[in-house]
Every structure is written in C-alpha cells, then in structure tokens.
C-alpha cells in the first residue's frame, strides 16, 4: 500500500506539472477521439494491392517500454512534454504482437529470432539461417538444415535487395538474411574453432560475399572481418583492434568487386563523405563499411566519417528504387540493443529515435499503395521506467519521491539486471551524487550483471501498405516473413498472384482475400 505521505508528495508534484492549456478543455480530447475513429473506419477498405516493395525495420531490443520511452524522448527533443508525441511507427494503422521465444529458449537471442522473422522458421538460440535441427557451434549439424530468407525470395523474383544496419553487416540480424551458420559469432574464420573449419563450415563474412552474390546494397560496420589478419585499418591506423582478422588471407572487398559485371557501376565506400558524394541514380551496387566493428552510437557519431541510419536508408532506397520490379530492404537499428546491454538507456533511446527518423525518411520516399513497411523488434530488454513521474518529466530524470526504504532518490529509468548495480558504503548508490543525465550513465539495476539481459515478453509489430492488415493479432514471430512474401507475391506461396497479374486492377481481389483467411501453414 502507498503511504499517505507518498500520495501527498505525488499529488503536489503532479499539480505543479505543466498541463498544456488545450488539454484542459474536454473538447480537445473528444475531437481527437472522433478523428481517430474516422481514421479507423477508413481501414474497412483494405489495401490488397501487390506490394512492389517491402521494407522491414528491425529495432534490435526495441521492446514496448523502449518504444514508449523513445516517443517521450522524441517529443522532449522538440521541447514538448513528450507523452503526446507520435513516433513514425505510431502512425502505422496496423499493430500486432510477436511471440519471440526461440525453439530452445524462453528468453531469446537475436540470431534465433532473426531466423524466424526473415526465414519464416523458428530456430535455436545462437544460430542463423538454419532450422532447429542445427545445434549451436556444431558445424556438422548444419548441412541439410539450411533455410532461405525473404531477401533470397525477393532476389529470386527479380527484385533488388539491400541490407542497412548500425551493427556489423555480419552481425546476427543481417546475417540471417544471407548466411547459414551454426554460430552467430563466426564473424570471420578467425572466430571459428578448428573443428568447424575442418568440417567445411564458412564464416559469415565469407558467406555474405558468396551466398547471394548480387545484393545491391550492403551498408553498416564490420570492415575488419573483410581483410587479412593484421591488415591496418584505413581509418584507425594505430588501433590494433581495428586490424583485419581473416586467417585465410582473403580480401573480401576485392572478391565483392570481382563478382560484379564489368558494365555495372559498383562502389565501395568507407566514410560518409564518399557516400554522400555518390549519385545513387548511377550506382548499381553499393558496399559501405564505415567502421571496423559496429558503427558508433548516434550520440557519439562523427558526422564526417560515419553516416546516420537515416542517410544510409535514403541512399539505399535511391539505389534500389531503379528496379521496375521493386525491392526488399532490411534496415536494422542494431545498437538499441547494445545500449541496453550496457545499461546506457540514453544511448539506447537515441538510437531508437534515429531509427524512427529513418522510418519517416523511407515513408517520404515510398507510397503505401505499393510499399509494405513493417517495423518490429527481435526481442525486448529488462528495461523499465516508472516512479509516478509527472507529465513532462525528463525521461532520464528522477522520480518525484525518494525510496521509503533507503530514503534515497532514484531515476525513473531502471533495469531488472545489468552493470548499473552500485553499492556504496554498503548501501544503494545515491544517484543525486552522480551525473545521471550523462550519455553513458548506467541506470541502476536490481541484480548485478556485466551485461544486462534480454526480456522475454512479446514485442510490437507495426505495419502499413499492401496486406498490412494480415498483421493483426498475437502471432508467432516466424509468421512475419510469410505475410511480407504473400503481399509481394514472392516465395513459395504465389497461387493468388496469377489473378493479380491477369487483371487490369493492381489488386489481387477476392481470391487473395479468401486465401488470406486460410492457415499459412497449409500454403507453404
């Protein structure tokens, strides 16, 4: 039970908080609700067009609490209270929930989940592009258990394809779109055990260049995995950790170039200046590797050497959009996850806001008539915010009261576990004595861990465009690529597409709506 003293303290704080004048008038809320109702009624007319383009935005670790906190942060960055702000994803008309568990894990990792939402098959923790018959780190369980992704299905259908990420391009999320690996950590052959190498397994960077040789756009970090062992990095010449890692002596950049047709325009860039100097309309293939490992956090980004996620997305769409058959683009805001693992909520939330900006950028460059856009997360984190904070309270600020147990203040943002656990003099650290607004402040956690863990609850799926209404309830995570493929008439389930191509209307029509009601398992 909350004590009377606490209730009074909260009441006093809330009464003194800023309430926008328009919100004091009941008419404001009634008009807003009526407009929302009108918008909802328009959704009775379903968009059953064929999706020429499919864009998937994956916020790694972007659970619902992260979405809400990012919304508030976005508003506060524009000098508003924050709670009333709309993220770009908030404007999408359809929302579902995704069950994120791996076949062998209640709380999942990013590899098994990536296999689910890209390949349409749930898999074991730590494995990418393979079924649950593959055991992690066991190379000899890989062969025969490979599963292909929607990126491959799109490429096979003649579409252009692209990968954009703020992590390494051979990290868990992007790798599931092109690789088949028993271990997500096999970034290059340097990270593989001798047994796996002797059994013929290939590292993920190698597979990026060889499995789907004509990926039109690849952008992110991971430069060092493309070069021979100890090759000096072009940007960080004195940093030994930035040097090449490959034991096989291969230069995968040269191999990438060699696979491209001579009459096509292929460009490899490693910095923002060179990227923005390109004319995307004359680029056929683009490889951009802007860091040796993961890209820098948005708050730390050098805007001369490293492009933002929004800039990469804009360039990618301009390159891919030239294909009259359309494109598939995977975009990962991958360092949301890293910020949370480090207990650095400010880094994580700014990453989420930047991804939302990229979503808006993509929306401005495409049409809901022919582009299906899906925004989701692979998993959540044990990240929360609360403490009866008043309206407009800084998302990184203190709760309006002290603990009624140890009499110390606490921040609204907390973690269930992680590196923010601090004990000073046998007691919980007094956060008023530290700079809790610092970019790298590690929010307090209940349990000490070097790295904060994922959360196991469902994550949101936001969708707009053709067939977006098929994402409508609580789904298994592996359902998502089946919907995207169905909407785009790619992959195995294309029976409904014949009527669409023979009709003068761009809509697949009643047959497609009928098939939409059938269990997808019976169609694949």
Gap between the Cα atoms of 348 and 359, Å rounded:
17
Q: Report DSSP state, residue 170.
A: T
**Residue 162: other Cβ atoms inside 10 A:** 26
Residues 6+ apart with CB under 8 A from 399: 386, 387, 388, 389, 409, 410, 411, 412
Q: Is 454 one of the annotated binding-site residues?
A: yes
**Residue 467: other Cβ atoms inside 10 A:** 24
Which region holds residue 92: left if phi is over 0, alpha if psi is between -120 and 50, else beta?
A: beta
CA-only gyration radius of the chain, Å: 24
CB 450 within 8 A of CB 421: no
CB 110 within 8 A of CB 60: yes
CB 343 within 8 A of CB 443: yes
**Residue 304: other Cβ atoms inside 10 A:** 8
Gap between the Cα atoms of 127 and 196, Å rounded:
14
Query: Roughly how many angstroms between the first and final C-alpha of the chain, as a whole number?
Result: 53
Q: Is 173 one of the annotated binding-site residues?
A: yes
Active site residue 110: yes
Residues 6+ apart with CB under 8 A from 275: 269, 288, 290, 307, 311, 312, 315
Return the axis-axis angle of helices 110-119 and 479-488, rounded to nearest 10°.
30
Q: Is 350 one of the annotated binding-site residues?
A: no
Q: Is 340 one of the annotated binding-site residues?
A: no
Task: Identify the active-site residue in 65, 98, 110, 308.
Answer: 110
Q: Is 263 one of the annotated binding-site residues?
A: no
Tokens of 295: 């890209």
State the greatest distance between any 2 C-alpha atoms of the chain, in Å, as a whole number. 77
Q: Is 306 one of the annotated binding-site residues?
A: no
Q: Is 171 one of the annotated binding-site residues?
A: yes
Q: Is 384 one of the annotated binding-site residues?
A: no
Which region holds residue 409: left if phi is over 0, alpha if psi is between -120 and 50, else beta?
A: beta
Q: How far is residue 472 from each of residues 89, 97, 469, 512, measured CA to CA in Å?
A: 15, 8, 6, 17
CB 443 within 8 A of CB 345: yes
Which residue from 327, 337, 317, 55 is spatially nearest to 172, judged by alpha carbons?
Answer: 337
Nearest-5° Cα angle at 446, 126 to 81: 95
Helix, strand or coil, per DSSP, at residue 255: helix
Nearest-5° Cα angle at 84, 82 to 90: 105
Return the axis-axis angle of helices 64-77 and 345-365, rounded to nearest 10°.
80
Q: Is 210 one of the annotated binding-site residues?
A: no
Active site residues: 110
Annotated binding site for Zn(2+): 60, 337, 341, 378-379, 454
Annotated binding site: 60, 171, 173, 332, 337, 341, 378-379, 454
Annotated binding site for Mg(2+): 60, 171, 173, 332
């Amino acid at each position: 039970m909350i004590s009377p003293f606490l209730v009074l303290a909260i009441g006093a704080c809330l009464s003194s908080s800023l309430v926008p004048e328009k919100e004091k008038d009941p008419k404001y809320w009634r008009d807003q609700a009526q407009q929302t109702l009108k918008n909802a009624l328009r959704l009775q007319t379903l968009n059953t067009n064929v999706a020429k383009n499919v864009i998937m935005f994956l916020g790694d670790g972007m659970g619902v609490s992260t979405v809400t906190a990012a919304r508030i942060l976005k508003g506060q960055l524009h000098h508003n209270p924050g709670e009333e702000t709309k993220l770009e994803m908030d404007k999408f008309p359809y929302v579902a929930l995704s069950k994120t568990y791996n076949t062998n894990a209640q709380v999942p990792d990013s590899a098994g989940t990536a296999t689910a939402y890209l390949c349409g098959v749930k898999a074991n923790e730590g494995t990418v592009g393979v079924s649950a018959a593959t055991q992690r780190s066991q190379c000899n369980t890989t062969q025969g258990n490979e599963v292909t992704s929607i990126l491959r299905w799109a490429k096979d259908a003649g579409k252009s394809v692209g990968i954009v990420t703020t992590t390494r391009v051979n990290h868990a999320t992007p790798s599931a779109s092109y690789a088949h690996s028993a271990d997500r950590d096999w970034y290059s052959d340097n990270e593989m055990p001798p047994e796996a190498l002797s059994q013929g397994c290939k590292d993920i960077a190698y597979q990026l260049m060889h499995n789907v040789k004509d990926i039109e756009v690849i952008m992110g970090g991971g430069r060092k995995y493309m070069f021979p062992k100890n090759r000096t990095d072009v940007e960080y010449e004195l940093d030994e950790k930035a040097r090449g890692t490959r034991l096989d002596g291969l230069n995968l950049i040269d191999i990438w170039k060699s696979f491209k047709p001579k009459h096509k325009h292929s460009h490899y860039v490693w910095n923002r200046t060179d990227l923005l100097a390109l004319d995307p309309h004359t680029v056929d293939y683009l490889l951009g590797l802007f860091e040796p490992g993961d890209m820098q956090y948005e708050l730390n980004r050098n805007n001369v050497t490293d492009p933002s996620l929004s800039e990469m997305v804009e360039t990618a769409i301009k390159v891919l959009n030239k294909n009259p058959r359309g494109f598939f683009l995977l975009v990962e805001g991958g360092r949301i996850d890293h910020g949370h693992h480090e207990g650095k909520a400010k880094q994580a939330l700014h990453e989420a806001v930047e991804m939302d900006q990229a979503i808006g950028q993509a929306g401005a460059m495409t049409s809901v008539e022919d582009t299906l856009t899906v925004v989701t997360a692979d998993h959540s984190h044990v990240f929360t915010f609360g403490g009866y904070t008043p309206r407009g309270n800084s998302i990184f600020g203190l709760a309006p009261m002290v603990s009624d147990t140890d009499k110390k203040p606490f921040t609204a943002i907390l973690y269930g576990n992680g590196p923010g656990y601090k004990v000073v003099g046998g007691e919980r650290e007094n956060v008023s004595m530290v700079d809790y607004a610092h970019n790298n402040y590690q929010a307090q956690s209940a349990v000490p861990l070097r790295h904060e863990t994922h959360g196991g609850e469902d994550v949101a799926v936001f969708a707009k465009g053709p067939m977006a209404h098929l994402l409508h309830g609580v789904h298994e995570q592996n359902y998502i690529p089946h919907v995207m493929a169905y909407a785009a008439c790619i992959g195995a389930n294309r029976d409904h597409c014949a009527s669409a191509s023979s009709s003068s209307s761009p809509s697949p029509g009643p047959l497609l709506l009928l098939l939409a009601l059938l269990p997808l398992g019976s169609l694949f």
